[in-house]
A and B are shown apart, each in its own frame.
Chain A
Amino acid sequence: MSNALETTRLSKRYGRLWALQDCTLALPAGRVAALVGPNGAGKTTLLNLSVGLLEPTEGLVQVFGCSPLKQTTETLPRLGFVAQNHPLYMDFTVANLLTLGRKLNPRWDDRLARGRMQKLSIPLDRRAGKLSGGQQAQVALVLALAKRPDLLLLDEPLASLDPLARREFLRTLMDAVAETGLTVLLSSHIIGDLERVCDYLIILSASYVQLADAIASVHTVIERLVGPRQEVDAIASVHTVIETSQTERQTTLLVRINGPLFDPSWEVQEVSLEDIVLAYLGQQATERLSSSPSAQKRMEVVQ
């Protein structure tokens, strides 16, 4: 399968501060990917680089094999983007916004746009500024969808929405995915909502990619091991230990399985996506606290 988005050692620096470093990842076409990470991890930077709104300091980014910054006329019609806080021209009516979409996009699907607005019962003659936050997010999403993109990137689309609006937003998104099979990359720090809609996970922390994999395979390779209290060296020599917690009697590990597991004293348990994400992010936090973590060490964790 070809990749919708590919980055190679992508880095972005603002002054002395690295917002993103050595980001190498491939997002296969057709996936709905979640980009998770704490605030300031570089999620927005990665998305902005991916759509050509930013220029990389180092490295390469390609959308369907084209550079989004240099080959804008090829990539722009294929890209949909909803920026953080879903900006709209607030004094435009919804109908005006749809006209904008129609005039500026060759692949514009007006029937889709109007149909969605009707389904969401958003009045076309209402000014965008008078809509609720949830409705504004929906309008922004529909504007991006009616562009008929092949890759849709959403920057924190759920952040400002209440739980009900969040669900409706994701429903609109999933309807479109089901109809057109477009690739989606959405950033968020709300993991619970994503588990239902995403099948690919990218964890970004402290400006590095910690994990980029299909959620199905994440589930099969990352396991929780529970056993009597013991040293973890034996396990760590074969498998990658992501998180360790010890009580007086037992040891609980979150492990990336790299081979067969021989020791029968370990009981294997399923882990939720949220646990995996938190473990990766928690590991970052402890590493940062303990010693000065080198970039090399973090890269090992990824591989």
Chain B
Amino acid sequence: MIWVTWRQHRTESFILLGVLVLSSIFLLVTGLTMANTFQQSGLSNCLANDKDTRALLTICGPLGSAFLNQYGPLFPFAAALLILPILLGAMVGAPLVARECEQHTNLLVWMQSITRTRWLTVKVALVLGTGLLVAGVLLVLLTWWYRPFSQLNGSFNQVAFDFSGPVLIAATVLALALGIFVGTLTRRTVFAIFLTLALILAIRLPVEFGLRPNYEPQITVTWPLDAQGNKTNNVSCNGPQQQTPLQCMQADGYRGNYLSYQPADRFWTFQWIETGLYLAISVLALGATFWLVRRRLV
């Protein structure tokens, strides 16, 4: 069965390998250049010497800005590789069972001497294995590539969070599991591909924008308005001309500034929470797939 699955997905495997090699070359070349600049410009030394706050502000600041200006535009290209796991789910996961049903080849393979469960197990295991491999390569390369940025900005932000830990692996498994499930349910390849894409987005967007900022209660700090009055400049306040903005706001009833945030040391907790969430959904989807293949037949 392993051979059969490999023979069936030979073409996809080669395409995937090609994409992965090209992506790796891009990341390696740009990553090495960045790391070089990071070292050469003195930015690396400057950041390492974090005792001296004055030096941090006066020397590192401009160096960091220059670095970000130079290499920041590359970031969207690297981040675009995060589409790869999603595409894998839609283009490999969704057709896995759907295409067999559509072309009735399931009637051929199910009537060989192996059970349907075994057939599905091998297919799912190989595809998930490939997914893990792809996600692993991306995880290692992207984390390494992002390191200079990480030292400047950290990894606990909307995009970097997605490729800086096990969440990337879990998201890949999720995409594949959803694809396989939807394909088995609909048995129509093209429909399943689009439904899978929609479903992945319908799960991941609310998770990333709705749940992720609240896995743990945000920490809120407040300070009086006048302590750092310049912060009020952002707020429009319509009062009499002779008032300063600060006075205007105080007159309107504002009593303080506040900031809600998630501290950086929660990074790994959040990674594991989200990983667990995605893996749980994946297990449900795969369980349903096995049930469907065993119960609902031709």
Contacts and interface: CB of A to CB of B under 8 A. Distances in A.
Interface of A: 48, 51, 53-55, 72-73, 76-77, 79-81, 83-85, 87-90, 92, 96, 99-101, 103-107, 140, 143-144, 147
Contacts of A77: 113
30 contacts: A48-B297, A51-B111, A53-B107, A53-B110, A53-B297, A72-B115, A73-B115, A76-B112, A76-B114, A76-B115, A83-B104, A83-B107, A83-B108, A87-B105, A87-B108, A88-B105, A89-B8, A89-B105, A89-B108, A99-B3, A99-B7, A100-B3, A103-B3, A103-B4, A105-B112, A106-B113, A107-B113, A143-B108, A144-B111, A147-B112
Given A48-B298, A89-B8, A81 B103 contact: no
Sort A-B residue pairs by CB-CB distance and give the 10 closest, nearest first: A104-B112, A83-B107, A87-B104, A81-B111, A77-B113, A105-B113, A53-B298, A76-B113, A72-B115, A87-B105
A104 B4 contact: yes
B46 interface: no
Contacts of B125: none
B109 interface: yes
Interface string B278-298: 000000000000000001011
Interface residues on B, range: 20 to 34
A87 B103 contact: yes
B32 interface: no
Contacts of A55: 295, 297
Contacts of B1: 103-104
Contacts of B4: 100, 103-104
Contacts of A104: 1, 4, 109, 112-114
Contact of A81 (B8, B105, B107): B107
Contacts of B108: 83, 87-89, 140, 143
Contacts of A143: 108
Given A54-B298, A89-B8, A96-B7, 13 more contacts: A53-B110, A53-B297, A55-B295, A55-B297, A76-B111, A76-B115, A87-B108, A88-B105, A89-B108, A99-B3, A100-B112, A105-B113, A140-B108
